[in-house]
């Protein structure tokens, strides 16, 4: 098993990710003020997923990992999305 060098993220990339996260947080708050009906939850989950993707990719350095690790994380997110989807279907049809 080879040992990779630690990846150090540049300040420019970290600042860009921070700006994107702050912008998405602003969008989340702005969208919460608009009545979209059932789609408020969908939009909120999409924004939260996007923000968590930024955190996982850059601050947890998944972007720089090998494909096996990326596949495992993707499978975990897929299973979580399936569970959340089943929960919404259950709530919607009660």
pLDDT at 22 over 90: yes
Angstrom distance (rounded) from CA 29 to CA 35: 12
Whether residue 42 is contained in a domain is answered as yes
Residue-wise pLDDT for 28-87, tens only, equals 999 999 998 878 888 998 999 899 999 998 888 888 888 898 899 889 989 988 998 888
Query: CA separation (Å) from 37 to 7, 13, 40, 90?
Result: 43, 36, 6, 18
Range of the domain at 58: 11-92
Residue 5 lies in a domain: no
Q: Could you tell me if residue 6 is inside a domain?
A: no
Based on the structure, what is the number of domains in the chain? 1
Count CB atoms within 10 A of the CB of residue 58. Answer: 19
pTM for the structure as a whole: 0.73
Per-residue burial over 20-41, b if 16 or more Cβ lie within 10 Å, else e, is ebeeeeeebeeeeeeeeeeeee
């Amino acid at each position: 098993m080879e040992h990779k060098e630690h990846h150090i993220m540049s300040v420019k990339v970290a600042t860009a990710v921070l700006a994107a996260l702050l912008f998405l947080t602003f969008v989340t708050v702005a969208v919460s003020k608009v009545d979209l009906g059932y789609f408020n939850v969908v939009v909120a989950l999409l924004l939260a997923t996007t923000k968590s993707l930024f955190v996982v990719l850059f601050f947890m350095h998944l972007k720089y990992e090998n494909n096996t690790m990326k596949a495992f994380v993707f499978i975990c997110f897929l299973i979580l999305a399936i569970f959340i989807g089943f929960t919404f279907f259950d709530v919607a049809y009660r």
